[in-house]
Amino acid sequence: MTNEFDNSQNEKSLKPNQFKTPQIAIHWATLALVAIVIAIGFGSDLIEARATKHLAMDIHRLLGLIIGLLVLARLAMRLGNRSPDLETPLPLRLAGAASQGAMYLLLVGMPIIGLMQTSAARAHPTLFGVIPLPVLTAHDRDLADSLGEWHERGAWVLIAVIGLHAAAALWHHYGRKDDVLTRMAPWIKTRRA
Binding site for ligand HEM (CB under 6 A): 34, 37-38, 41-42, 44, 57, 60-61, 64-65, 67, 107, 110-111, 114-115, 117-118, 148, 151-152, 155, 158
Which CB atom, from 14 or from 110, has the smaller least distance to ligand HEM? 110
Residue 38 vs 161, nearer CB to ligand HEM: 38
Q: Which is nearer to ligand HEM, 86 or 127 (CB)?
A: 127
CA dihedral 37, 40, 42, 43 (to 10 degrees): 160
Closest distance to ligand HEM from the beta carbon of 64 (Å): 2
Indicate the residue among 32 and 188 with the shorter CB distance to ligand HEM.
32
- For CA atoms 29, 120, 113, 132, the dihedral sign is negative
Cα separation of 87 and 121, whole Å? 50
- Residue 162 or 180: the one with the smaller Cβ distance to ligand HEM is 162
Q: What string of DSSP letters covers 89-148?
A: -HHHHHHHHHHHHHHHHHHHHHHHHHHHHHHHH-SS-EETTTEEPP--S---HHHHHHHH
Closest to 4 in 3D by CA, of 87, 107, 76: 76
Please state, in angstroms and rounded to a whole number, the distance separating the CA atoms of residues 24 and 30.
Answer: 10
Min dist CB 118 to ligand HEM, Å, is: 5
Q: Min. distance of Cβ 161 from ligand HEM in angstroms? A: 11
d(CA 154, CA 156): 5
- We find the least distance from the C-beta atom of residue 139 to ligand HEM, in angstroms, to be 14
CB of 52 to ligand HEM, least distance (A): 13
